[in-house]
Amino acid sequence: MNTSYAYRELTDLTKILTIFLWLGVVIAAIAVVSSWEHLALLGRRSFSHSEFVTNWERQKVIALLRLALWVVNSIVFARWIYRANQNVRALGATGLRVTPGWAVGYFFVPVVSLWKPYQAMKELWQASQNPAAWQGVTRTALLPLWWTIWLLFNVLGWADFKAAMSAMSAPQLETLQGAIAQQMLSDIVFIPLCIVAVTLVSRICRAQEVARSNSQGTAT
C-alpha cells in the first residue's frame, strides 16, 4: 500500500452523493412536467394573466431548486472523485496519469475538459477493481455512456442559456416557448445522467471496499 496516501472510507460519502443524485432525478422530472404544462398554456394562445403568473412563478421556484441542487451535487461529486482517487493510491495503485486534484480540476479547464475527466474516471474505475494491476482491467460500458450523456447535457445547457438570454432580450411568445422547450430537453437528459452516475459511483465504492478488505486480509 502507498503510505503517502491514507485510505478513507467512501461508503458514507457515496450514500450522500447518491441521495443528491436521486433528488436531481426527482427535481428534473418535476421540472419536465411543469415545463410541459407551461408550454401547453402558452400553446393555447388565450390565457389569463393570473394563469400565466401562476405557471411562471412555479417555473422560477423549480429553477432555483434546480440550481441549488446542481451546486450541491457538483461539490459533493468533486469531493467524492478526489477521495476515491486518493483511495486507489492508498491501496497501492501506481502509474496513474491523473492526480486526485486534477481529476476534479480538469472539469473546469476549457478544451481538455472534453476528455481528461473521462480519462481520470476510467483510471479510477480500473484502479478500484484491481489496484495492483489496474492497467489490465477492462473499462465498463457505463463509462462511455456516462461521459456521452454528460457532454450532451453540457451542450444542451449552453443552448438552454442562449435560449433564455434570447427570451429575456426579446420577450415574445415564440422565444419564451423556445426557452422553455430547451430547458425541458436539458431536464430530460439530466435524468439518465444522474441514474448512470449513481450506478457508476456505487460500483466504484463497492470495488474499493473489496480491494480494501483483500489488502487487509493479505497483510494479516
- Locate the domains of the chain by residue range: 11-219
The model's pTM is 0.91
pLDDT score of 81: 98
Q: Which helix (H) or strand (E) holds 71?
A: helix 49-90
Residues 6+ apart with CB under 8 A from 140: 125, 200, 203
The cell for 197 is: 452516475
**pLDDT tens per residue, range 32-83:** 999 999 999 988 878 888 888 898 899 889 989 999 999 999 999 999 999 9
The cell for 21 is: 443524485
Low-confidence ranges of the chain (pLDDT < 50): 220
pLDDT score of 164: 77
pLDDT score of 171: 67
Query: How would you write 135-201 as a 3-class SS string?
Result: HHCCCCCHHHHHHHHHHHHHHHHHHHHHHHHHHHHCCCHHHHHHHHHHHHHHHHHHHHHHHHHHHHH
CB atoms within 10 A of CB 58: 16
Alpha-carbon distance of 139 to 129, in angstroms, equals: 10
Q: What is the DSSP letter of 107?
A: G
